[in-house]
Every structure is written in structure tokens, then in C-alpha cells.
A and B are shown apart, each in its own frame.
Chain A
């Protein structure tokens, strides 16, 4: 069965410093993978998606993620954190293909200090 594990429940960074949110996946084949962000009182928003076209995926708001099959990882990064990045981030794997059932990781709360 496909699953994702987010390695940190909370990450705290200072504004202007890099962000790293870690996600490992478990799958018998190369899956599609997504990162979603959830701001308080707002719907989940798709940050970026990997669908096997390119291992380095660029998303919105300066975020990117690299699919590493050898490490079964799909870590989310951003070179310089902004206060508005403070939110909860979910690594997600679709079961049965993109748009069908989604399996969510436990989430990582990102705190950005001024």
C-alpha cells in the first residue's frame, strides 16, 4: 500500500532562512506525490506535484521539491522563508491515480520567526 511519512511534526525557522520539510514515501512503484499547504481558515492548496515528468518540481510561492527514488524521499524546500509561509504542510500520495483517493501524511506545522 502507498503511504507517506512526514518526519517532523513541527519546524521552526527564522524569516529569510531556508525551509526544509521532509517526506518519505512507501510504494512498490514510482508514485505521484503532492505537497499541499493549509492556512488557518482556508482550504488546502496544492503547492506542487510530481508525476514522473521531472524529478525537481517547482511550485507556487517559491517552493520546490525533489523526488529521489534511491532515498524514497520527496522533501519540500524554499531558499528563504517568509512570514506568510507559516502554515501546515501535507505530503500526499494519490491512490489509484491523480484525482482519486488521496492519502495524507501527518502534516508539518511550519513556524516562521521574525
Chain B
């Protein structure tokens, strides 16, 4: 149980275009979803937290107009990288939690490798 999928697993796009990444909880309802970014040989950094039906809460330094997050249902959250540039190339990972309080585990997706050329 507790499976989270991401699509696509890899994407290459041209500079200036937008890319959408999907995160789905397959066998549970995800009240809260999180988006992380992992730079090469670095740890994961939380980008934003989203609760179903609410606006996402972005971490300091993350451009909300560039990284659009939509958590429209209890099983789906999307991250859209708008007007992507080479510096946006990274590994993006989502996680999902069945609750909002501090007693629920986060389940992670396998990640999406974004390359902007």
C-alpha cells in the first residue's frame, strides 16, 4: 500500500517552454502533498506544501509564479515549471501524506528528471 507515482519520469524541454509534472497517490487519499527539488549530489529541498483545495505554501526563495502547484483532488497534485531555463534542470520529487497533522507519514514518488536545453 501507500504508493505514489510521478509522471513523466524524465522530460527534456527547450528553454522558454513550460513543463507539467504529475504526482498521484494510487491507493490512499492525500490530504497534503509536498514538492521537493534535489540537485546533483545534494540533498532534497522542500519547495512547497499543498493541501487539497487550497493554495500551496511555498518555501522561502521559491518563486511561486515560476513553480505553479495545483492540488485539485485528493489523489493528484501537479507542478508546472513555467518558462523553464537550464538552471531549472533538476530532479523533482513529490510526496503525499494522508493527513495534515504531525502523525502521518509521507510517501514519496520516484521522482522526475527535468532537463532544460
Stretch in A16-24, A37-45, A52-60, A62-70 touching the partner: A37-45
Task: Identify B43's interface contact among A42, A45, A104, CB under 8 A.
Answer: A104
A9: shortest Cβ distance to chain B, in Å? Answer: 8
Task: Identify A99's interface contact among B93, B101, B108, CB under 8 A.
Answer: B101
Task: Identify B110's interface contact among A42, A98, A106, CB under 8 A.
Answer: A42
Residues of B that sit less than 8 Å from A by CB: 4, 9, 32, 34, 42-46, 49, 93, 95, 97, 99-111
Contact B97 A99 (CB under 8 A): yes
Q: Any chain B CB within 8 A of the CB of A100?
A: yes
B93: shortest Cβ distance to chain A, in Å? Answer: 7
Q: Any chain B CB within 8 A of the CB of A97?
A: yes
Q: Which residue of B lies closest to A4 (CB)?
A: B43
B50: shortest Cβ distance to chain A, in Å? Answer: 12
Contact B46 A96 (CB under 8 A): no
Per-position contact with B for A81-106: 1 when CB-CB < 8 Å, else 0? 00000000010001011111111111
